[in-house]
Structure 1
């Protein structure tokens, strides 16, 4: 619901609503809990894990992985090859509150912000191209690579703390998502 209501329904694009805080809430509830933490928590419950500290650590690890996975998904939606990701990304056209647009808004000067305002959320190939060119100009791909490495290091640091349960499942998840291209 947060994802679908990040913009007024039927109104003009309002980029002021695309904040990192809103993005993190969307990701936490859309991806981190649903895809990562809840399946792990169910496995922990069914295997008899009772220590609340284990659940807290699993939640931190899974939420970090979930955010990383969604940021990666946003990046691939824009810069991934359709033959690799299995679809043509449409986050720009769909006016999505993606990590890329949030970071672009943080970095953009007034002129660059105007480019976003005039082109984001429009189903027009030339406008999409302008947004992607702006992302390149703002070095969003480089920022993503830095984010990816920092996330990986953060997850690895959390995994080093796992002693109350097997860490294999977390390592397997991380191996599946780190540097993925689809």
Structure 2
């Protein structure tokens, strides 16, 4: 399996068109990791418990776009500057990518319970599946505990093993803290727009999204490359800023994007989200416009949603976003090009261009 994965992934390196091959290789590694977890000697599985974990993993881990996980092997390939990767390198890069996907699944399973959500990735949230319910809370804990099991099995002999453990623990703490900020800012039943200010928004995004979605994949690739993360503080800052840029773009597309293009129907307005758009509106609104926001934001009603969107247009938030995007992109490119390593520049530009073309 490892040889097949390496052949597929290295094919992508050679001709630059093998993205599908790389994804196929990545999926192969998931199957192996799942099989290993279902035979973990630390727990004496019954047939029923093994079937439960098998179903739970397939339902929650591999169903997304896999961008975070695949970014590890993408970044590692760029850091290697075109050198072919060995079977072991491909497998280890994919395994680390899957650890991030496991982390994502853990966050989402618990986040859906906290938000009382109904659907995730086009299907019912795991806790809403018949016979699951709040067993999903324990499943989330198991998903989190699978990560050190994978790391122990495949990375324990590596010189960067302890650094990997520290990295995942720190990023999990940062993300959970960001979730806490989000939850206490948007208490259900306590809708208070006065809390929605740009510094609050930036802190939530930085901790809840940017660290695990942008910094973690690159940090994993750097550790695999034998680098010391203490030497890449500026790279971390750039990736966190990129994560903020990504979330602001996501908030913009939630309102103004074409659902056929972005693949979802926006709900930030009716969900009373601390969105970049409402933060910008609150900074610009006059007294009557503030009244419109107060009366309509957070209402799951088409008329109320439409009034908020009209107000966003009156405040020219599309132009505000365009200017933010232009200046942010220029700043990021300047920071990236100041990095002394061409390989690191390539990694960062790859991330930035994926974000920038998302709405084009």
Q: State the TM-score, normalizing by the size of structure 2.
A: 0.48
Question: Within 5 A, what are the aligned runs for 1:39-54?
Answer: 39-50=217-228, 52-53=230-231
Cα deviation code 1:86-129 (max 9, x no counterpart): 11100000000000000000011111110000000000000000
Q: Distance in 2 between matches of 1:155 and 1:69?
A: 12
Hey, what does 2:204 align to over in structure 1? 26
Runs of 4+ in 1 over 6 A off after TM superposition: none
Residue 3 of structure 1 contacts residue 96 of structure 1 at CA under 8 Å; is this kept in 2? no
Give the structure with higher Rg (CA).
2
Q: Distance in 2 between matches of 1:50 and 1:4?
A: 34
Q: How many residues end up aligned between the 2 structures?
A: 180
Question: Within 5 A, what are the aligned runs for 1:1-182?
Answer: 1=179, 2-11=181-190, 13-50=191-228, 52-53=230-231, 55-164=232-341, 166=343, 167-181=345-359
Residue 296 of structure 2 contacts residue 307 of structure 2 at CA under 8 Å; is this kept in 1? yes
Residue 222 of structure 2 contacts residue 229 of structure 2 at CA under 8 Å; is this kept in 1? no
Q: Distance in 1 between matches of 2:338 and 2:234?
A: 8
Higher RCO structure, 1 or 2 (CA under 8 Å, sep 6+): 1
SS of corresponding position for 1:5: helix
Residue 223 of structure 2 contacts residue 229 of structure 2 at CA under 8 Å; is this kept in 1? no
Deviation of 1:142 (Å): 0.3
After TM superposition, the structure 1 stretch with the greater mean CA deviation from structure 2, 17-26 or 66-75, is: 17-26
Residue 40 of structure 1 contacts residue 58 of structure 1 at CA under 8 Å; is this kept in 2? no
Q: Distance in 2 between matches of 1:86 and 1:173?
A: 20
Instruction: For structure 1, list consecutive stretches of 5 or more residues without a partner in the other structure.
Output: none
Change (3 A) 1:68 1:51: closer
SS of corresponding position for 2:334: helix
Deviation of 1:51 (Å): 6.3
Residue 103 of structure 1 contacts residue 140 of structure 1 at CA under 8 Å; is this kept in 2? yes
Cα deviation code 1:108-160 (max 9, x no counterpart): 11111100000000000000000000000001010000000011001011011
Cα deviation code 1:41-90 (max 9, x no counterpart): 1111121112634x211111101110000000000000111111111100
Residue 78 of structure 1 contacts residue 132 of structure 1 at CA under 8 Å; is this kept in 2? yes
Instruction: For structure 2, list consecutive stretches of 5 or more residues without a partner in the other structure.
Output: 1-178
Q: State the TM-score, normalizing by the size of structure 1.
A: 0.94
Q: Distance in 2 between matches of 1:30 and 1:8?
A: 16
